[in-house]
Structures are given as structure tokens and as C-alpha cells.
Amino acid sequence: MVLGKGVGQLALTSGADDISSVVIEENVLRSYGLKTEKEAVKFLKEGGFTPKRRDLLYNYDRYENELIVDFV
């Protein structure tokens, strides 16, 4: 299912708390029209959100640096 960036930003604005699972999966990001983690961070920032990464224990970690590796 392709949701698109507009639907993703609308969902976040309406109360959704993430755009992916705790494991960033390429197919989840692609459903929003995003090809890389770097694009996802940019998408969130452009929507006025603070990108955060969660670990498997659901602890949050902000993206303090911009050194984000693209998916291959």
C-alpha cells in the first residue's frame, strides 16, 4: 500500500506517534514515498516534527548528528 507523504504528515499531525516500526524497514518507508532514512528525517523536520529513533525497549534517541546512512 502506498500512502504518500501527505497522508504520513496528516497522520502525524492527527496524533500518530511514528511512521515506522522500531526496526526501520525499507518497505515501510517506501509506503510514504521515502527511499532512505535520511529522507525520512527530512520529511519529519519539514512537517515540523522532531525525528527520534527508538530502540527495541522503546527508549527514544534524538538524531543529534546528521550522519545518517542511507539504505542500500
Predicted confidence at residue 71, as pLDDT, reads 40
Structural domain count of the chain: 1
Domain span at residue 24?
A: 4-62
Residues whose CB is less than 8 angstroms from the CB of residue 40 and which lie 6 or more positions away in sequence, other chains included: 19, 20, 24, 29, 32, 34, 51
40: exposed, middle or buried (Cβ count in 10 Å: 0-12, 13-18, 19+):
buried
Does residue 72 belong to any structural domain of this protein? Answer: no
- Nearest one of 20, 27, 30 to 52, comparing CA atoms: 20
Spell out the per-residue pLDDT of the chain, length 72, in tens.
446 667 677 776 777 666 655 445 556 667 777 777 788 888 888 888 877 777 777 777 666 554 444 443
Predicted confidence at residue 42, as pLDDT, reads 86
Does residue 70 belong to any structural domain of this protein? Answer: no
